[in-house]
Amino acid sequence: MNASERKAKLRELVATKEPCRTGIPIMYHGVRKEFDAYEIPLEYLIYNPYNGRIGSVVKSYERQHHIINPEDPQDKKLIEKFLWESKVEANKKTKERLLREHQEKHGIVTSDGIIIDGNRRSMLLNNIMADSSIPFNEKSHCQFFIAIILPDDADKKEILALETTYQMGEDAKVDYNPIEKYLKCKDLQDAGFTADDIAGMMDVKPGEVRTMLSALQLMDDYLDEYGYSGMYTQLDKNEDSFLKLDSALKKYKAGVPSMWAYDPDADVSDLKLIAFDYIREGFEQTLFRNIISAPSANKPASSFFAKEEVWKDFRDRHFAITDAIEETSVDDIMATNPPDLGRALKARDQQWKLKVEDDFEENYTRSLDKLNNHAEAARPLQLLIKACQALEVVDVTQDSFQTDGNIRGCVKSLDEFVKKFKNILEM
C-alpha cells in the first residue's frame, strides 16, 4: 500500500470499528489531549526507518548503499533485521511476552500509517505472524497492532517530539545505544527545537543535550577524517573517549593559563588529529587522558600536550609513523561492492591498527616517561635514585656496550651531568 491507500484504510477503520482503548492522554501541540487506540492490521502500517533505536545503523547503511524505502518489501525486511539485531535477547523475551500476554502498551502511528512509537513491537508482531512454528490460533491476536492514530495535522516537528518523548523519555526497558541519543538530539535541533525542549523530551538536563550535540560534531569530524562520513557504526563504543576529548579541546581553544604558548588553532588541531588516531587504534581509554588532559594548578604535568617539550617530540614522532602508512581508500573498497561493506571497513581499520599499534605504544611509553619526569621535577632526590637504579642494571658485559657509538655518547652526557651536579654541590 502507498501512503494514500494506508490513510484511507485507517480512516475507514476509525469510522467503522470501536476503539479497544479510550481516553489515553498525550501531549499534542503543547496541550494535553485524550486519544483512543485501535486494533490496526499490520498491513496498514509501515516502519519508521529513522527510529531512534536504529538511527545510526540506518544512516550508515544509506551512506554505504541506498536510501531505505519502508514501503519496499526488501527494505522492510532490512529494517526488521536492524530492529531485531539491536537487542536480540531483549527481543526474544518481548516476543514471548507478546505471544503470551498480548500487547500491553499501545503505540502511536501517523494518519498515513507510519509508526512513530512501537517499531520494535510491530516488528515482533510481524515476526510472530511469520513464524510457521506457532499455531495460528495461538498467535491470531498478533496480526493487529494497538495504537493511537494521529490527526492529519501532525507535522514533522510534532511527530519528532512525540517519537522522542515516547521512545527515549519513557522506554527504560530496552536501553538505547548512546549514539542513537546523540543523533536524535541533532535531528531535533535541526527541526528547530531548543536544548531545553530536547531535554524535556529526553528526560535529561539541557547541559547534557549541549554536551551530546558538541560530542556528535566531534564524532562527525572523526568520521570525515577517515572517509567514513555518515557511517556511525564505525564509532564502535568510543563515546567516553570523544566526551573526554571534546571537553579537553574546548578548554585548550579557550586558553589555559600557565601553559606554553601553543597555537589554539594549529596546535589544538594537531592534538585533535592525533587523539583521533588513538581512538581509531582502540587505545585504552584510561590511558588516553595522558595525551589530552588539560593541566590544573595541582597537576601542571597532566598530559603530553600540557608540556611543550613532551608534546612536540610526541607529535613529530606520531606524524612520522602515520605519514608512512598507506591504506586502501574507502571509495576503492566501496567500488569493489563487498558483500558486507561494514565488515570490510572494520577490516580496513584493523589492518591500519596492526601497522601502527607497536609504534604508537612505543611513542606513548617514551612520552609518558618524559611526562613523569616533569611531574617529578620538584623531587630531585627521587629522580637521582631512579637514575642510579637504572644504571645499576646496565649490562656492561654485552659487546654492544663497547661497540655502540650511541652508548659512548650517553656515557659522555652522564659524565657532564655528574660534573655539573658536583659543581653545584661544591664537591
Residue with the larger pLDDT of the pair 56 and 94 = 94
Instruction: Report the distance separating Cα 305 and Cα 260, nearest Å.
Output: 9
Average pLDDT over residues 72-90: 92
175 — pLDDT class (breaks 50, 70, 90): low
Model pLDDT for residues 224-277, shown as the tens digit of each residue: 999 999 888 888 778 899 999 999 999 999 998 878 999 999 999 999 999 999
Query: What pLDDT, on a 0 to 100 scale, did the predictor assign at position 111?
Result: 93
- How far, rounded to the nearest angstrom, does the alpha carbon of residue 193 sit from its chain's CA centroid? 22
Buried b (16+ CB within 10 A) or exposed e, 225-252: ebbbeebbbbbeebbebbbbbbbbbeeb
Sequence-distant (6+) residues with CB within 8 A of 226 are 234, 276, 280, 330, 349
Flag whether pLDDT at 384 surpasses 80. Answer: no
Flag whether pLDDT at 173 surpasses 70. Answer: no
Q: Sign of the C-alpha dihedral, residues 379, 383, 386, 388?
A: negative
Residue with the larger pLDDT of the pair 49 and 363 = 363
Instruction: With CA atoms as reference, report the closest residue to 47 among 140, 111, 120.
Output: 120
Burial of 313 (0-12, 13-18, 19+ CB in 10 A): middle
- Supply the angle between the helices 178-190 and 55-64 in degrees, to the nearest 10: 80
Residue with the larger pLDDT of the pair 416 and 389 = 416
Query: What pLDDT, on a 0 to 100 scale, did the predictor assign at position 28?
Result: 84
Q: Sign of the C-alpha dihedral, residues 375, 380, 383, 387?
A: positive
Average pLDDT over residues 276-296: 91
Query: What pLDDT, on a 0 to 100 scale, did the predictor assign at position 376?
Result: 66
Average pLDDT over residues 353-377: 89
Average pLDDT over residues 62-74: 91
Burial of 185 (0-12, 13-18, 19+ CB in 10 A): buried
Flag whether pLDDT at 108 surpasses 90. Answer: yes
- Least confident interval from 155-169, 185-199, 243-257: 155-169
Query: What pLDDT, on a 0 to 100 scale, did the predictor assign at position 227?
Result: 92
Instruction: Report the distance separating Cα 161 and Cα 350, nearest Å.
Output: 39
Q: How many Cβ atoms from other residues are within 10 Å of residue 221's Cβ?
A: 14
Average pLDDT over residues 178-204: 88
Instruction: Report the distance separating Cα 20 and Cα 196, nearest Å.
Output: 35
pTM: 0.76
Flag whether pLDDT at 172 surpasses 50. Answer: no
* Segment of 17-26, 158-167, 390-399 carrying the highest mean pLDDT: 17-26
Contact 415, 422 (CB under 8 A): no
Flag whether pLDDT at 326 surpasses 70. Answer: yes
Residue with the larger pLDDT of the pair 56 and 141 = 141
Give CA angle at 343 (340, 346), nearest 5°: 150
Query: What pLDDT, on a 0 to 100 scale, did the predictor assign at position 184?
Result: 87
- How far, rounded to the nearest angstrom, does the alpha carbon of residue 293 sit from its chain's CA centroid? 20
How far is the CA of 370 from the CAs of 184, 233, 278, 313, 421, in angstroms? 43, 36, 19, 10, 20
Flag whether pLDDT at 98 surpasses 70. Answer: yes
Flag whether pLDDT at 54 surpasses 90. Answer: no
Query: What pLDDT, on a 0 to 100 scale, did the predictor assign at position 382?
Result: 63
